[in-house]
A and B are shown apart, each in its own frame.
Chain A
Amino acid sequence: MGTLIVALLLAAGPRQHLGPAVPAHVQRVVTLAPSLSEVVLALGAQDRLVGVTRFDDDPRVAKVARIGGYNDPQPEAVLGVKPDLVLAEPAPSNRGPVEALARLGVPIEAFPLTTVADIEDAIGGIAQLLGVPEKGRELDAQLEAARKQSRDKLQGKKRLRTLLVFGLEPLVVAGPGSFAVELLEDAGGENAAAGADKPFFRWSAEAAVRSAPDLIILCGVDAPPGRPALPGLDKTRTVHLRSTALLHPGPRLAEALGDLAVALHP
C-alpha cells in the first residue's frame, strides 16, 4: 500500500473544488484514494459509496465498483456509477482525468492529506458535504484525544532518532510537515531525516547513514530477503509497523499512532 505514499510524493496544493456545485443531499460518492473511502466509511456513509479505486482493500468496500487507480481513474467507469460527488486528492498525476470529469459535469472535491491538520480538515469537510458534520467533529476530537494522551505519557522519556521509511527502491522517507512525522513525534520519536523540507522525499543512502538513526521503521515496505533494509545501517534496530494504518491518512491515524508507539517502545 505504498500507493498512497507515491501519491503523497506528488501531492500538492490546497483544497480544491472543480465542476458544478455539490448537491445538498449527496447520495452517490466515488473516492479516488483508499484513505478517502475510509473517511466515508468512518462517517457511517458506507451505503453512499458507489465507486472506489482498485487499491481499496477494506472488506467493507469489497463489493463496490472499481473505477481505476489512484493516478489513472477511468472517467468512463466513474460516469458509469453516476456519482453526485467525487472525492480526490489534488495531485498532478490524476489531474487529466479529474479535470475531464469536472468538465463532464461531475462535482469534484479535492483534499490534500499531507499533515494531520489537513487530514482533520478533510474529515471535517467530507462530513459537511455528506451532511453529517457532528460525526466529523467527533472523529477529529477522537484523534486529537489520542495524540494528547500519547504526548502526556512521554514526559521525561528519551526521544529516539527515527527514520520512517516508506520506499526502498528508491529510498523514500517521511520529512517534517508530514502527518507521519507529526505522529512519530507524538509517539516519542524524533525524525532523523529532519534536514529536508518536504513531507515525503527520495533520499540517498549516504544521507540516511549520516543521519545516524537509533531506529528504522519500515512502513509497508520490506527489504528483499537476506539483505539489510538500508545499506550501511545493518546494525541499526529495524522494525516493521504492526499494521498498515500509517499508510492510510484518514480515520486510521489513531491506530497508526499506537503502532508507532509500539515500534518505538516495544
Chain B
Amino acid sequence: MTSAAARAARASALLLPLLLAAAAVGLTVGAGDLSLTAALHGLEPDATVLYKLRLPRVLLAAEVGAALSVAGVALQALLRNPLADPFVFGLSGGAAIGTTVVVIASGTALGSAAFSAASFAGLLPAQVAAVAGAMAAALLVYTLGRARGQLEPTRALLVGVVFNSFASALVLAVEAVLRPEQTQAVLLWLSGTLGYESMPVLASAGLVLIIPIVILIALAGRLNLLALGDEGAQALGVDVSRTRLLAFFAASAAVGIAVAFTGLVGFVGLVVPHAVRLVVGPDHRVVLPASALGGAVFLVLADALARVLFRSLGAEPPVGAITAMIGAPLFVLLLRSRQ
C-alpha cells in the first residue's frame, strides 16, 4: 500500500495533462473560427478573441469547476450522504436572493449610488451580493440545523432543502414585478452561465478560492474518520463538531465564490466526486485534490461543448444546462457501475 501522498501525486500527475488538454480544447473552439497562428502572432481580432475572451473563460471554468467539486466532496463526507451536492445547504437559494436583490436595486437611485460606491472600492456588486446571500444562507442553515450544540447532518440537510424551495418561490414571486430584461438577467444567472471576467478579477477569485480548498484538503484525514460515524471518529481523537464547522464553512465559501461568478452550475459537485472515487478509492486525501483537478477538467470541457453545440444557429446554451444534461445520465451510470 503506497502512501496517500504518493497516490494523490500520482492522480494529479494523471489529471494535470488532462486539464491542459481540456484547456487546449477550450481555447480552440468557440462561437467563431479562430486562427491560433494569427492569434499567437498578435493579429486582430484573433488575438483579442483568444486572450480576452477564451482564455478568461477557460480559467473561470477551471476555477469554478474545482471549487464546486471540492465543496461537493466535503459536503458528501460531512453529511455521510453521497447525494449531497454543493447547493444542498441552501447556498443556491441564498445566492439567488442576493443576486435578485442586486438586479432590483440596479433600477433604483439608492441602488445606483450603492453600485458606484462598491465599484469605487473595486467590488462587483452582483458577486458580492451572491457571496453574502450564500454565506447568510449557510449561517442560517447552520444555526437551524444544530441540535444539542452540534451540527446534525440530517436536520441541516432538510433545512437547506426547505430554504432552497423558499428562496426559489421568493425569486419567482419577485420576478412578476421585474422588467422583462431584469427577469432575463436573473434567469440567465439561475441557469448557470460562464461570463467573461477580467484577468485581475480571475486572479483574485483564484487566490481567494485557494483558502477554502487548502482548508478542506488539510481536513481530509479527519473527513476520512467521520465516515466511521461520530462516535467512532471521536474515539479516534477527531473533534467532530469543530471539523464539521470548519468543513461546512470552507465548502460554503468555495461554493459562494463560484456561484457569484457563474450562477447555479449544477451536477459538477455531484458527478465529479463520484467519478473520482470510482477511480482512486474513498480516501479523501486523494479524492479532494483529484476532484479539484477533475472538476476543472469537467467544467472546461462542458463550457467548450456549450460554445459549439448550437454554433450553426449562432446561439449558446447556458453551461449549467450542459453540465446537467451530461451529469444526470453520467450520475446514473456511475451509480450502477458501483454495484
Contacts and interface: CB of A to CB of B under 8 A. Distances in A.
A244 interface: no
Contacts of A205: 31, 53, 196
A225 B116 contact: yes
Given A3-B180, A203-B314, A225-B119, A232 B188 contact: no
Contact of B119 (A7, A224, A231): A224
A209 B180 contact: no
Contacts of A169: 184-185, 188
Main secondary structure of the interface of A (DSSP, over half): loop
B124 A224 contact: yes
A133 interface: no
Contacts of B49: 206, 209-210, 232
A71 B118 CA distance: 33
Contacts of A80: none
Interface string A195-210: 0100001111111011
Interface in A99-113: none
B30 interface: yes
B125 interface: yes
B32 A207 contact: yes
B115 to A, nearest CB: 5
Interface in B168-222: 176, 179-181, 184-185, 188, 195-196, 198
Interface in A104-142: none
A23 interface: no
Contacts of B124: 224, 226-227
B45 A170 contact: no
B316 interface: yes
A158 B17 CA distance: 51
Nearest to B183: A6
B315 interface: yes
B32 A206 contact: yes
Interface in B117-139: 118-119, 122, 124-126
A131 to B, nearest CB: 33
Interface string A1-15: 011011100000000
Given A196-B314, A204-B31, A224-B124, A231 B180 contact: no
Given A6-B180, A224-B125, A231-B52, A206 B31 contact: yes
A206 B118 CA distance: 29
B177 to A, nearest CB: 8
B179 A3 contact: yes
A69 interface: yes
Interface in A130-179: 167, 169-170
A127 to B, nearest CB: 28
A5 B53 CA distance: 26
B241 interface: no
Given A224-B124, A225-B118, A206 B53 contact: yes
Contacts of B30: 204, 206
Contacts of B195: 231
B165 interface: no
A212 interface: yes
Interface string A68-100: 011110000000000000000000000000000
A98 to B, nearest CB: 16
A222 to B, nearest CB: 9
Contacts of B119: 224-226
A169 B190 CA distance: 13
B81 interface: no
A207 B32 CA distance: 6
Contacts of A201: 314
A188 to B, nearest CB: 24
Contacts of B116: 225
Interface string B85-129: 000000000000000000000000000000110110010111000
Contact of A209 (B45, B176, B179, B185): B45
A6 B184 contact: yes
Nearest to A198: B314
B48 interface: yes
A227 B176 CA distance: 29
A200 to B, nearest CB: 12
Contacts of A233: 48
A167 B314 CA distance: 16
A225 B184 CA distance: 20
Interface in B7-50: 30-32, 44-45, 48-49
Contact of B48 (A6, A71, A232): A232
Interface centre among B45, B56, B116 (most CB of A within 10 A): B45
17 contacts: A2-B181, A3-B180, A3-B181, A70-B180, A169-B184, A204-B32, A206-B32, A207-B31, A209-B45, A212-B45, A224-B119, A224-B126, A225-B119, A227-B198, A231-B52, A231-B56, A232-B196
Given A202-B315, A206-B53, A233-B48, 19 more contacts: A3-B180, A71-B180, A196-B314, A201-B314, A203-B314, A204-B30, A204-B314, A209-B53, A212-B44, A212-B45, A224-B119, A224-B125, A225-B116, A225-B125, A226-B119, A226-B122, A231-B195, A232-B53, A232-B196
Q: 9 nearest interchain CB pairs?
A: A225-B119, A231-B196, A204-B31, A2-B181, A232-B52, A206-B31, A6-B180, A226-B119, A169-B185
